[in-house]
Every structure is written in structure tokens, then in C-alpha cells.
């Protein structure tokens, strides 16, 4: 017998179930329990009356900066402003969804490709954002390379206000509804990379970005 069979058999014996593997009825019961997708208790602030204010508060806490623009057309100007304000070079690698915007007009070199290790800024969209924790959620896909949010020192993320949800559970419900199975990477980003491994002193910028800037449309 292999390890799998031995382990399953040991578990069953220890818990007083006969046989070497779960029965069809047991599997059905487990699937049924799973299919209920029972939601546990959530903290009161997860359903804040002002969802945007809750999101802003949590972004502030995690170190994500926030700007609001009226429409997608205004994104390049906001990016230009942000890059200038932080003394960053006016060049970025971005998701294809944003390639059609007027980047040249904002004085920015836009590279429509996944970020490489030496790109300074990556521009992404997101699947949704979560107010409870000040989080943006990225789903990997051919059009949404994860590395663009990970390798550059600055990550700019465009969020549409109507995609701002209360909780992580809401994001799972939306995922099931719009996508089905989770893709390879479901990536929750809440502020810039950090570490406290030396003397429990918080340092921003461990391996991922030093800066996360969210542009709300």
C-alpha cells in the first residue's frame, strides 16, 4: 500500500470509520457541507455605512495611497502627478487594458507588457477591492500578469468604485459568479511589501513594492 492509502486508513481507523477510504456517502456529505459556503460572523466595520470611507481608512493604515479621478481618461494625468510627486521616472509597464489611454499626452512611456525586474513602476487594474481591509484583489490571466504588481518598486492599481465590496466573502461570491473556479493566482494586496524580521522594526519594501497607489474611478 502507498502512503496515501496508509494515511487515509489510519485517519479512518482513529476516528472509528470502517474501510480504507471515504465512502461515496461521506464524500457527498462533505461536498454538501462545502456547497453551503457558510459565512462566519464578520466584524461590524466590515459593513460600514460609508464603504469608501472604510476603504480609505484601511488603505491609510496599510500604507496604500489613494486618489480619485472622474473617468478612466483621467488616469494618465493622475499617474503623471503621482510619479512626479514621488520623484519617479515617467515610464511604466502596464496591463493591456490601459494601453489605449493617452499616455504620451501625459508624458509617460507606457510599455504594454508584463513588468520585468528592472521596471520601476507597474500599472494594473483589479478584479475588485475590499473595504474591510483596504485590499485590492488581482486575478491572474493572460491579460493580467501578476508580476506587474510584484516586481516593480511602485505598484499603481486602478479600481472602479462599483467594484468596491465590503468583505472577502463578497469577493468570493463575485469570483464564483463571474469567473467560476479561481484562476492560478488570486492575489490580495493590502499595502506595500514590508518586513519586521529584524528587531520587530517595520520596514517598508521587503521584496515587493515600496509604494502602492490606488486610483479610484
Cβ burial of 6 (10 Å; 0-12, 13-18, 19+) is exposed
Element housing 14 (H / E): helix 3-14
Q: With binding defined as CB under 8 A, does residue 103 bind another protein?
A: no
Q: Strand pairing partners for 92?
A: 110
State the nearest-atom distance from the C-beta of 162 to another protein, in Å: 22
Q: Pick out residues in 37-66 that bind another protein (CB under 8 A).
A: 37-45, 58, 61-62
Compare residues 71 and 201 and give the one whose CB is closer to another protein.
201
**Pattern 104-143, another protein, x by CB under 8 A:** ----------x--x---------------xxx----xxx-
**Spatial contact of 54 and 132, defined as CB atoms under 8 Å apart:** yes
Stretch that binds another protein, among 12-20, 48-56, 78-86, 100-108 (CB under 8 A): 12-20
Evaluate whether 61 touches 208 at the Cβ level (below 8 Å): no
Q: What minimum distance in Å lies between the beta carbon of 75 and another protein?
A: 22
Q: Which C-beta is closer to another protein: that of 101 or that of 144?
A: 144
Q: Which is nearer to another protein, 104 or 185 (CB)?
A: 185
CB of 138 to another protein, least distance (A): 10
- Measured distance CA(76)–CA(52) in Å, rounded: 22
CA dist 12 and 19 (Å) reads 7
Helix, strand or coil, per DSSP, at residue 12 = helix
Length of the chain: 217
Phi and psi, residue 91, nearest 5°? -150, 140
Q: How far is the CB of 104 from another protein (least distance, A)?
A: 25
Tell which one of 30, 99, 109, 179 touches another protein (CB under 8 A): 30
DSSP letter at 44? G
Taking the least distance from each CB to another protein, the nearer of 69 and 174 is 174
Sign of CA dihedral 203, 206, 156, 174: negative
CB 155 within 8 A of CB 122: yes
Write out the binding residues for another protein, residues 133-192 only, by CB under 8 A.
133-135, 140-142, 145-147, 150, 167-169, 172, 175, 181-192
With respect to another protein, which residue has the nearer C-beta, 41 or 49?
A: 41
Amino acid at each position: 500500500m502507498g502512503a496515501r492509502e496508509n494515511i487515509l486508513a489510519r485517519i479512518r481507523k482513529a476516528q472509528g470509520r470502517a474501510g480504507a477510504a471515504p465512502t461515496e456517502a461521506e464524500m457527498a456529505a462533505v461536498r454538501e457541507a462545502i456547497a453551503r459556503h457558510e459565512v462566519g460572523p464578520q466584524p461590524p466595520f466590515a459593513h460600514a455605512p460609508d464603504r469608501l470611507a472604510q476603504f480609505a481608512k484601511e488603505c491609510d493604515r496599510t500604507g496604500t495611497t489613494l486618489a480619485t479621478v472622474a473617468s478612466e481618461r483621467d488616469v494618465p494625468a493622475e499617474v503623471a502627478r503621482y510619479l512626479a510627486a514621488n520623484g519617479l521616472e515617467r515610464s511604466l509597464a502596464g496591463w493591456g487594458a490601459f494601453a489605449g489611454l493617452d499616455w504620451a499626452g501625459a508624458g509617460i512611456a507606457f510599455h504594454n507588457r508584463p513588468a520585468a525586474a528592472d521596471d520601476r513602476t507597474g500599472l494594473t487594474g483589479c478584479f475588485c477591492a475590499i473595504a474591510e481591509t483596504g485590499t485590492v484583489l488581482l486575478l491572474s490571466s493572460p491579460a493580467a500578469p501578476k508580476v506587474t504588481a510584484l516586481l516593480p518598486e511602485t505598484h499603481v492599481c486602478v479600481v472602479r468604485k462599483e467594484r468596491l465590496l465590503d468583505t472577502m466573502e463578497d469577493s468570493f461570491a463575485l469570483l464564483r459568479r463571474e469567473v467560476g473556479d479561481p484562476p492560478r493566482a488570486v492575489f490580495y494586496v493590502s499595502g506595500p511589501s514590508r518586513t519586521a524580521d529584524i528587531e520587530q522594526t517595520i520596514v517598508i519594501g521587503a521584496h515587493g513594492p515600496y509604494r502602492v497607489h490606488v486610483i479610484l474611478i
